[in-house]
Each structure stands twice: as C-alpha cells, then as structure tokens.
C-alpha cells in the first residue's frame, strides 16, 4: 500500500490513542506516552507488526497514547493508513 497524504485516526481520550501517518521514506514510528513510558517499545513493535501485515513500507507513524489496548492501537493505525493510502 502506498501512503499518499497525511491522515489521522483516534482521539486524546482516556484508553484511546491518536495515530497520525504521513509519507516518508522507510518506516519511522514515534510514540508519545507520558503516563505509560514503559510501554513505548511494545507500542512500536505493535505498529511495525501491523504495518508489515498491511504491506506498508514508506510511512511515518506518530502515536499519542492515552492507555489504549493493543486492539485499539491496531484499529487506529489501520484506519489512518486507509485514509492516507491507496487501497
């Protein structure tokens, strides 16, 4: 899948995450999770795994986590990618 434009999904509410994606060479994942810093690495791994499954290669993913569970993180990423990309 090719990312063509910037897109976002999710909110800044408790137990949610705001995920923003845009085109960039390679795969870059940044995570902001102030109250949950210890989960930063795990969130990056989840994002990279989901991108592999979706066959997305050139993307920057910015995650603003507010205590989201794994299935929420995956769903927010999928939604943002679908909005930004060519299906």
pLDDT value at 58 more than 80? yes
Give the CA distances from residue 54 to residues 5, 6, 15, 59, 65, in Å, rounded to whole numbers and listed in that order: 17, 17, 24, 12, 21
| Tally of domains in the chain | 1
- The predicted model gives 21-37 an average pLDDT of 90
Q: What are the distances in angstroms from CA 26 to CA 52, 58, 69?
A: 12, 4, 26
- Give residue 33's pLDDT: 85
Helix (H, G, I), strand (E, B) or coil at 69: coil
> Domain holding 66: CATH number?
3.30.230.10
Average pLDDT over every residue of 59-69: 96
* CB-CB contact of 81 with 1 (8 Å): yes
Owning domain of residue 9: 2-86
pLDDT at residue 87 tops 80: no
pTM of the model: 0.93
Q: Helix H segments across 4-69?
A: 40-54
pLDDT at 36 over 90: no
């Amino acid at each position: 899948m090719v990312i063509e434009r910037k897109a976002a999904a999710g909110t800044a509410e408790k137990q949610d995450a705001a995920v923003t994606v845009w085109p960039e060479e390679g795969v870059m994942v940044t995570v902001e999770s102030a109250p949950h810093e210890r989960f930063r690495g795990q969130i990056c791994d989840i994002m990279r795994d989901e991108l592999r499954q979706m066959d997305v290669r050139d993307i920057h993913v910015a995650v603003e986590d507010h205590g989201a569970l794994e299935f929420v993180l995956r769903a927010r990423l999928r939604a943002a990618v679908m909005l930004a990309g060519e299906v």
